[in-house]
Structure 1
């Protein structure tokens, strides 16, 4: 299976880096008390280091917002999921517990203030792409049973003509959601540099450790960026 970034995406922001982890043979479970404690600790850490009025000025959040604006997406109406999650936490609200895999992915996202999406591979049957929609794609909203159409020219993450994430990194589909039965996952993280110590590399390291340690799986790891726009896995 291939994963490709359309060259036009890098015209929006040539600094884009996509961190990809393919986790196989994961053993997911309900969240333990330790998992929940990790999430609450991450929430408290965010509240200590980020003020609500400073959220949009964080360099990585600015990069997400600027990239979305260049793609014709209003980041106020369709904020990156990471920004929305951080805002919710900073306001004092706790994230719901879903299952260990979802909750600990949220921990990694909170700790590094980075976009992180996990997609169950059993729902993915065609090549993956970050691209601009043709207008023939369909999207199944989270919790819905009926597909909706996607207008032409929208920046999306797709599997063939099925949209996995709308408005770039705004909202994931019902298809591919991680459940207790999830075994194999395509993880996509979005950052803007891949030097040692960057938020992307720190997040990839943490997630890889979880895949192998907490969930007993195996892992393939890739960086996709300008000049290296395609991988096969």
Structure 2
């Protein structure tokens, strides 16, 4: 269901990943309480510093530089969320699952992607783009990733994320129609594996409280 190309493992041996499948998602949930709790954690962690001072974000900045990207131009998803939280003291509400994942991402400073499984053809693989893949923006525009760019791609040659943890596709974003989702959390900092275990435990607890009838399945990552 989710895997990495050997080149990703070779170039980023410090990478740690946890993937959770969620079946039974609906919009009939109110995520305000857990969202407030995880955003409070994010604010505490940034007290006296900025998102760029957190080790989790620094590790992603190094990875983006290694990919040939300017880290302050292309930010990983968790850095973008923390930056918005610092500037606006809040995050926009999109969908209960997205709101929860965004808040957890901010609280742990770790990028989390929530992907609508019914919009994915076959297996998702993280790999370098050929440059011919199709990527749909949230505005509905069609783009093609640059050759060599790290993307999430499926069997239909559709990119579901660009620049790795930078931009998710509008095609498979979790929306009102979503009933099945794949939640992917990735980290590169020292202690990433232990932090991902804590993150996933917190996420599982919150999802189970919001959607008591949902089925949660840990997805092995080769």
TM-score (norm 2): 0.89
- Counterpart of 2:70 (choices 71, 74, 77) is 74
Q: CA deviation at 1:87?
A: 1.1
Q: Are 2:122 and 1:122 equivalent residues in the alignment? A: no
User: Which portions of structure 1, spanning 4 or more consecutive aligned residues, are displaced by more than 4 angstroms?
Assistant: none
Equivalent position of 2:148 in the other structure: 153
Quote the offset at 1:90 in angstroms: 1.6
Distance across 2 between alignment mates of 1:138 and 1:44: 38
* 1:22-79 deviation per Cα after TM superposition (whole angstroms, max 9, x unaligned): 11122332x53xx224323433432233147442231111111111211222221110
2:133 corresponds in structure 1 to 137
For residues 128 and 183 of structure 1, the distance between their equivalents in structure 2, rounded to whole angstroms, comes to: 18
Give ranges in structure 1 of 5+ residues lacking alignment: 225-229
Contact (CA 8 Å) 1:142, 1:174: kept in 2 or not?
yes
Matching residue of 2:103 = 107
CA distance in 2, matches of 1:120, 1:106: 15
CA–CA separation in structure 2 for the residues paired with 1:53 and 1:86: 12
2:90 to 83, 88, 94: 94
Q: Which one of the candidate residues 182, 185, 190 is aligned to 1:186?
A: 182
Instruction: Measure the CA separation in 2 of the matches of 1:47 and 1:91.
Output: 11
Instruction: Give the distance between the partners of 1:49 and 1:127, measured in 2 at CA.
Output: 36
C-alpha displacement of 1:12 = 2.5
Q: 1:11 to 1:95 in 2, by over 3 A?
A: same
Contact 2:42–2:108 (Cα < 8 Å) also in 1: no
- Give the count of matched residue pairs: 218
SS in 2 for 1:68: helix
CA contact (8 A) 1:135 1:151 kept: yes
Cα shift readout 1:82-111 (whole Å, capped 9, x = no counterpart) = 101101112243111122111111221122
Stretch of structure 1 that moved more, 128-137 or 6-15: 6-15
Distance (whole Å) between structure 2 residues aligned to residue 105 and residue 154 of structure 1: 25
Superimposed CA distance per residue, residues 203-231 of structure 1 (whole angstroms, 9 cap, x where no aligned partner) = 1112222333321211211453xxxxx3x
Matched with 1:227 is none
More divergent stretch after superposition (50-59 vs 68-77): 50-59
Deviations 1:167-213 (A, max 9, x none): 11001111111122311111110024565xx2211111122223333
Q: Which residue of 1 aligns with 2:81?
A: 85
Distance 1:28 1:127 in 2: 26
Distance 1:27 1:41, change over 3 A: same
Shift in CA distance, 37/220, structure 1 to aligned 2, threshold 3 Å: closer
